Amino acid sequence: MKLLLLHMLVHMLVAQNPCRVVFCIAEQFDSVVDLNSFVQTCSHAYQVLNPCVYQYNSQHGSSTALFWAAAQGRETTAQESLAAHRAARSVQATRTVAEQALFPAADYGHSAIVRLLLAVKGVDPDAKIDAVSRETPLIRAAKSGHGEVVDVLLATQRVDPNARDRWGFRPLLGAAAGPHEAVVRRLLATPGVDPHVRDQNGWTALAWVAQHGHAALVELLLTTYGVDPQPRDDAGNTPLFHAARDGHEEVVDILLRSGAVDIEATDDDGQTALTIAASSGHGGVVQLLLAAGANADIKDAWSETPLSKAVQGGWVEVVEILLATETVDRNSRDADGRTPLSRAAEDGYVEVAELLLAAGADPEIADDEGKVPREWAEEYGNEILANLLRDGDSMQL
């Protein structure tokens, strides 16, 4: 009955004051979505009433139609919504809502919508989304890897290519964190972009692309833009550390060949790139670092060596590589007096323990608690290892 009465109302009043009809109908529904659905069921009046729906949305619906269009890339809807804003609201209000809509358009890479919004009188292409995050449309587009939107914004020549948000992210850093190669290259080629910028944690573009293993961008930043190959972040990490931690052999090789990295540099925990690679189980990176002269027996803040780290991770390949150097101390003690064999016994790594014993590790060295490796194996229920250490003969397995 409600719908029938509303349809009658539409037919009687649409010719007199269509927007008044829409506003009266709107009071009968709980949401703008319901209003829009109703108008579309009335084919006779749809073309007359539809602009009024946009007008109602601009005045009472928080401009949801425009934001939806910006996120979905619906150019016609965006145009009609903007037209309704111009008709019903002030120039300043229209400019403000257009600036806000730039962000979903940039997030989702809708360059046509971005152009449409930039055409609104007075729109600032470098507007901040809010006073807290301080993100700009360029930062959002760069983070999302939308190169065409980045091009559109840069072409205005009214955006700061080094704008910084609350987290210290700049457009270049956002693109590098992706990593979005095309956007990184575009930004680096933009006059005024600083390739040395850092985020709030001290990460540079080089650190981000090294972490992701993007060799081409690492090479570009080092050779074309001359960035520092060894910038330290707030935790003392360098790009070499990031690449080593994630096993990016090609990037590690590029950084080592630059001749400008300190292979024995340590982070805040006293770990070198070799320590980190060994701890993460990356045998290829370990070999590269050893070949470049890394100290295989260096100790970190806990007096643990790369061998000890590899043992605790159960990384058989890395343990083999380190033992093959014949220079590592098989019986090195950490801050608790524990040897690599003691750690292997606790964790139950039989194959690792066999390698250590074959390389001459002493099974009778007691730690600061007075325990020998066999006792750790027994305490943690590693019977096979306990027998191996008790008998000193892997044939007992």
Backbone phi and psi for residue 382, each to the nearest 5 degrees, phi listed first: -90, 80
* Token code pair at residue 171: 């457009």
Does the residue 116 lie in any domain? no
Q: How many domains does the chain have?
A: 2
Question: Are the C-beta atoms of 70 and 78 separated by less than 8 Å?
Answer: yes
pLDDT score recorded for residue 223:
95
pLDDT score recorded for residue 138:
98
Does the residue 276 lie in any domain? yes
Mean pLDDT for the chain overall: 89
**What number is the average pLDDT over the span 256-281?**
97
Least reliable range by pLDDT among 135-144, 294-303, 381-390: 381-390
Does the residue 236 lie in any domain? yes
For the chain, percent of residues with pLDDT exceeding 90: 77
Q: Is 236 exposed, middle or buried (0-12, 13-18, 19+ CB in 10 A)?
A: middle
- Residues 145 and 138: their CA atoms lie apart, in Å, by 10
Backbone phi and psi for residue 198, each to the nearest 5 degrees, phi listed first: -125, 155
Q: Which domain holds residue 279?
A: 228-329
Does the residue 388 lie in any domain? yes
Does the residue 23 lie in any domain? no
> Of 148, 80, 79, which is closest to residue 108 (Cα–Cα)?
148
Final residue belonging to a domain, choices 274, 309, 329: 329
Specify the amino acid at residue 352: V
Does the residue 80 lie in any domain? no
pLDDT score recorded for residue 394:
44
Domain check: are 304 and 359 in the same one? Answer: no
Share of the chain residues as helix, strand and coil, in percent rounded to the nearest 5? 55, 0, 40
Does the residue 378 lie in any domain? yes
Backbone phi and psi for residue 315, each to the nearest 5 degrees, phi listed first: -85, 90
Higher pLDDT pick, 320 / 88 = 320
Does the residue 33 lie in any domain? no
Final residue belonging to a domain, choices 272, 297, 329: 329
Q: Does the pLDDT value for residue 397 go beyond 50?
A: no
Q: Is 139 exposed, middle or buried (0-12, 13-18, 19+ CB in 10 A)?
A: buried
Domain check: are 298 and 339 in the same one? Answer: no
Per-residue confidence band for 91, with pLDDT thresholds at 50, 70 and 90: confident
Domain check: are 339 and 273 in the same one? Answer: no
Higher pLDDT pick, 132 / 35 = 132
Distance of CA 298 to the CA centre of its chain: 32
Domain check: are 376 and 340 in the same one? Answer: yes
Domain check: are 322 and 341 in the same one? Answer: no
**What number is the average pLDDT over the span 111-131?**
96
- Residues 39 and 46: their CA atoms lie apart, in Å, by 6
What's the CATH code of the domain at 273? 1.25.40.20
pLDDT score recorded for residue 326:
84
Final residue belonging to a domain, choices 329, 354, 387: 329
Q: Which residues pair with 198 in a beta bridge?
A: 204
**What number is the average pLDDT over the span 218-241?**
97
